[in-house]
């Protein structure tokens, strides 16, 4: 049963491989191995893969702070069962579009933020990632955030501390096909 639920997520992640730069500015461009790939068209591809008979998500929002800089998102929340929530968001900063991926799964939480310059911001591997879901709000605070995360070595470029708050005002049910 678990394999059936994880296969679509693995397929989704595997098909969106990106190469990303390592810093918050555009000055240094590298192609590090990252822990999760983010699809270039997260909102478009996800909506096409969800059952058509579910209600549209309205009013769900996300706010992420990375080293004192705030990013706002319009979010679509998915109730994937067993109290687990997947939240995908899109927003923009001064330079272009940004994306948010929050997976509040028991034992497998993940936070990824793709900035407009292509940088993937993730929580570091050397500190536990604890997401809290209460009253339809996913929260994480005092996150140690980094870019250029290499899963083989655990090395990354630390960016500082951050917070995540996603308010799921409605949910889509179902899962990726």
Q: Can you give the pTM of this predicted structure? A: 0.67
Contacts of 175 (CB under 8 A, 6+ apart): 5, 8, 78, 80
Cα-based torsion angle of the residue sequence 125, 99, 56, 129 in order, rounded to the nearest 10 degrees: 10
pLDDT for res 113:
97
pLDDT for res 175:
60
Angle formed by the axes of helices 2-14 and 42-49, nearest 10°: 140
**Cβ contacts of 91-95, under 8 Å, gap ≥ 24:** 91/62, 92/116
Task: Using only the alpha carbons of the chain, give its radius of gyration.
Answer: 15
pLDDT for res 127:
86
pLDDT for res 81:
85
pLDDT for res 58:
62
Beta strand 69-81 with 172-173 is parallel
Quote the CA–CA distance of 138 and 78 in Å, as a whole number.
Answer: 12
pLDDT for res 159:
95
Identify the CA nearest to 78 among candidates 172, 175, 177, 146.
172
Measured at the CA of 7, the angle between CA 166 and CA 123, to 5 degrees, comes to 40
Segments of the chain with pLDDT less than 70? 1-58, 174-177
């Amino acid at each position: 049963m678990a394999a059936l639920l994880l296969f679509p997520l693995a397929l989704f992640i595997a098909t969106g491989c990106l190469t990303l730069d390592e810093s918050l500015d555009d000055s240094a461009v590298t192609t590090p191995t990252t822990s999760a790939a983010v699809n270039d068209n997260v909102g478009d591809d996800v909506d096409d893969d969800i059952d058509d008979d579910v209600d549209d998500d309205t009013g769900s929002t996300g706010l992420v702070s990375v080293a004192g800089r705030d990013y706002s998102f319009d979010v679509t929340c998915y109730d994937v069962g067993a109290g687990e929530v997947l939240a995908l968001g899109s927003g923009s900063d001064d330079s272009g579009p940004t994306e948010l991926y929050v997976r509040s799964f028991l034992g497998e939480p993940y936070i990824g933020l793709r900035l407009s310059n292509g940088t993937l911001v993730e929580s570091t591997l050397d500190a536990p990632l604890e997401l809290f879901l209460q009253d339809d709000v996913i929260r994480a605070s005092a996150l140690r955030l980094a870019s250029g995360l290499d899963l083989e070595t655990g090395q990354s470029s630390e960016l500082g501390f951050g917070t995540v708050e996603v308010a799921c005002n409605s949910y889509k049910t179902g899962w990726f096909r």
